[in-house]
A and B are shown apart, each in its own frame.
Chain A
Amino acid sequence: GESVGLHLPTLSVQEGDNSIINCAYSNSASDYFIWYKQESGKGPQFIIDIRSNMDKRQGQRVTVLLNKTVKHLSLQIAATQPGDSAVYFCAENPGGGSYIPTFGRGTSLIVHP
């Protein structure tokens, strides 16, 4: 969900568990969605994307689900590992011919060994 100031939503899981990170996006005209992972002190790193004409896409250990009816996006990480600990951002492209990924506030994933 939304957060204010420095407080990020946090998800704590045990190594080996599956993780689900949720994101609500704002623009019903958005046509493309991306999940980014940001490790401490580094730039965002692309994980997986999905176009608005799809509702599910799978990658290696990750799955993105898109529900356009409620403007909701989720990232599922299977068999979460300590190296998955990071802040995860969803980003939406507003469409209209431009490509300007617009980031949400992020969720901090903490994986305990």
Chain B
Amino acid sequence: DTAVSQTPKYLVTQMGNDKSIKCEQNLGHDTMYWYKQDSKKFLKIMFSYNNKELIINETVPNRFSPKSPDKAHLNLHINSLELGDSAVYFCASSQRTPNTDTQYFGPGTRLTVL
């Protein structure tokens, strides 16, 4: 059973389009994340939701909008795609504790914007 799953695994689209990436976790965690890994392989957090509430929003263009229908799902919608959005996007989840945070990652979605 996959703990954190993402769909699709690959996404190729034209500039200007709107697309969504879905993420689901079956670990019972209360916190979910979206990360972007750019061409330099730098993995950087974009958003974090705890129990459907946004708790981290790093400096990300407002073309990116996360949506959390329940605590097991965190989807990422991207409007008006640009070339620079091409990257691998990872979803992750964790159980929020006072002193530690071990995040479990999905397999990633490789987005290519043409």
Partners in one complex: no
Which B positions have Cβ atoms within 8 angstroms of A?
A: none
